[in-house]
């Protein structure tokens, strides 16, 4: 039985680069991605199948590697699409399926349908329903393979109109190909492609999802410093805290042989401490000195790093902690 024709219905911080930038105009819309896939078609196949089909049936045809895209491949399939097969039970549906693939046998478009054979009273033979012989490729693969030289990984960042990130996804990358989902085409946001150059260095390239054009990343040079909240540092000086929280830890660093330093504090509510406690940063025991007059006391301090805290009247100033208990189901209760 010869298929009369083959119809297709397509629904559906690195700044130095050693690569030529990739043309990503195919990611600007679903239609653009479909056009790209259409042009990459290099192989095709039509197959016929049934649960009760017998061995020895001629039930598929393939094209060789062709150039010219889907148009050329489909024309070639139409010339070859002649099948002869036998089934053990005509009640079993027969399916006709078509596939268009790239040069690496990766499917780009596919589709088909099935039906039960019909008996022709005039000829006395079983025939294929006419609708089966028009194979409609109604589906494009959800992730279209795009060859990218040197690609290591890729991710998309989708944004709203104000530039806020809505979603970030890492895309499938294997065998030098980026598998780009149709659902990310024409979005606001960017495609970030990581490549490995010939000298094994890593290069990041940024492309606009709306235009497919390369964007220039913003380079930033910066330094950062770490500090702990509730800890104050003093160098070769007295330790005087003005309106600081009562649980403040002061670190006094003395780089001279010795010095006289004053130690005092007032709390946010105006209270003054009743004593100061001092210890070496690598020590265990605290030295306590009562503050009997005024809000400070002077002490001789030797070279080194010293931890300083103040002792206050036990006025229950601190808030009680919130303690979570885990219930038997593994949640907080």
pLDDT tens-digit map of 220-258: 999 999 999 999 999 999 999 999 999 999 999 999 999
Tell me the β-bridge partners of 280.
306
Our count of domains for the chain comes to: 3
Instruction: State how beta strands 249-266 and 231-235 pair.
Output: parallel
Considering the domain architecture, whether residues 152 and 137 belong to the same structural domain is answered as no
Residues 285-317: pLDDT tens digits? 999 999 988 889 999 999 999 999 999 988 655
Residues 54 and 139 in one domain: yes
Q: Which long-range contacts (CB under 8 A, 24 or more apart) does 31-36 make?
A: 32/185, 32/186, 32/212, 33/140, 33/144, 33/180, 33/182, 33/185, 34/10, 34/140, 34/182, 36/144, 36/146
Evaluate if residue 91 carries a pLDDT over 70. Answer: yes
Q: Is the pTM of this model over 0.85?
A: no
Classify strands 202-208 and 189-196 as parallel, antiparallel or unpaired: antiparallel
Report yes or no on 326 lying in a domain.
no
| Domain identity same for 157 and 137 | no
Work out whether strand 165-170 and strand 151-159 pair parallel, antiparallel, or are unpaired: antiparallel
62, 93: one domain: yes
Same domain, 249 and 209: no
Listed residues 121, 143, 165: the one ending a domain: 143
Residues 41, 124, single domain; the answer is: yes
Any domain includes 223: no
Domain enclosing residue 281, as ranges: 231-311
User: Do 188 and 210 meet the contact criterion of CB atoms below 8 Å apart?
Assistant: yes
| Biggest CA-to-CA distance, the chain | 123
Distance linking the first and last C-alpha atoms of the chain: 71
Same domain, 130 and 158: no
Q: Quick one: 35 and 139 in the same domain? A: yes
Other CB atoms within 10 Å distance of the CB of residue 288: 11
| Residues 84/85/91/92 CA torsion (nearest 10 deg) | -110
What letter does residue 2 receive in the DSSP assignment?
B
- Whether 104 is covered by a domain: the verdict is yes
């Amino acid at each position: 039985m010869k298929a009369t024709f083959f119809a297709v219905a397509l629904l559906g911080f690195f700044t130095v680069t050693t690569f030529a930038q990739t043309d990503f105009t195919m990611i600007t819309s679903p239609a653009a991605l479909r056009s790209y896939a259409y042009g990459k078609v290099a192989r095709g196949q039509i197959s016929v199948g049934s649960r009760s089909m017998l061995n020895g049936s001629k039930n598929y045809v393939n094209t060789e590697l062709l150039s010219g895209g889907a148009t050329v491949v489909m024309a070639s399939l139409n010339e070859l699409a002649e099948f002869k097969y036998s089934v053990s039970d005509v009640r079993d549906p027969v399916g006709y399926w078509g596939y268009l693939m790239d040069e690496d046998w990766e499917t780009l478009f596919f589709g088909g349908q099935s039906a039960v054979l019909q008996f022709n009273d005039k000829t006395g033979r079983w025939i294929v329903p006419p609708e089966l012989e028009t194979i409609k490729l109604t589906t494009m693969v959800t992730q279209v393979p795009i060859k990218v030289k040197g690609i290591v990984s890729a991710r998309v960042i989708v944004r709203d109109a104000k530039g806020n990130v809505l979603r970030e996804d890492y895309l499938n990358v294997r065998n030098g190909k980026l598998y780009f989902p149709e659902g990310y085409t024409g979005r606001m946001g960017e495609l970030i492609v990581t490549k490995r150059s010939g000298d094994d260095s890593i290069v990041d390239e940024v492309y606009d999802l709306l235009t497919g054009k390369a964007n220039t990343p913003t380079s930033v040079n910066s330094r950062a410093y770490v500090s702990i909240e509730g800890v104050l540092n003093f160098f070769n000086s007295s330790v005087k805290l003005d309106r600081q929280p009562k649980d403040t830890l002061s670190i006094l660093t003395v780089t001279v042989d010795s010095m006289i330093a004053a130690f005092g504090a007032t709390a946010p509510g105006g209270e003054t401490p009743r004593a100061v406690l001092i210890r070496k940063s690598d020590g265990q025991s605290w030295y306590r000195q009562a503050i009997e007059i005024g809000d400070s006391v002077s002490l001789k301090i030797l070279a080194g790093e010293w931890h300083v805290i103040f002792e206050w009247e036990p006025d229950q100033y601190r808030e009680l902690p919130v303690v979570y208990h885990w219930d038997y189901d593994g949640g907080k209760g």
